[in-house]
Amino acid sequence: MSDMHGFRLAWVLVALAGVSGAALFYGGPPAGAADDHDEAHEMRSRGEVLPLAEMLKRPELAGQRVLEADLEHDGDRMVYELEMLDSNGRVHKRYLDAATGEPLQRHNGDD
């Protein structure tokens, strides 16, 4: 085997090890993520929570961009936690009752 061929083979093995390592760390969703998604979908199907798209039509959210949206348990109710970017570039958190769409000031899990 020539030195050049051995050198190329070594780099191929390094590349394969890197790809394999990345697949181990980033290969799939976090544990429980699929279950959470399925639970949220079932709750929407049963009418227990409103779809996020409907929540985003609320007048007080007009002109704002969604940065992050989470559906969370808050005691005995479900709450949409929305991180919004307003037209002035400020980030705001909004909390909406997931069953009614009513705005909430804060919820128990808020710091």
pTM: 0.61
Identity at 53, one-letter amino acid code: A
For the chain, domain boundaries:
49-111
Calpha distance 45→58 (Å, rounded):
21
- pLDDT for 49-101, tens place per residue? 899 888 889 898 889 999 999 999 888 899 999 999 999 999 999 999 999 99
Token pair 């093995």 in the structure block, residue: 13
The pLDDT of residue 11 is 58
Residue 86's nearest CA partner among 60, 58, 53, 51 is: 60
Calpha distance 68→32 (Å, rounded):
19
Where do the H-state alpha helices sit in 1-111?
Answer: 3-26, 33-45, 52-55
CATH number of 49-111: 3.10.450.40
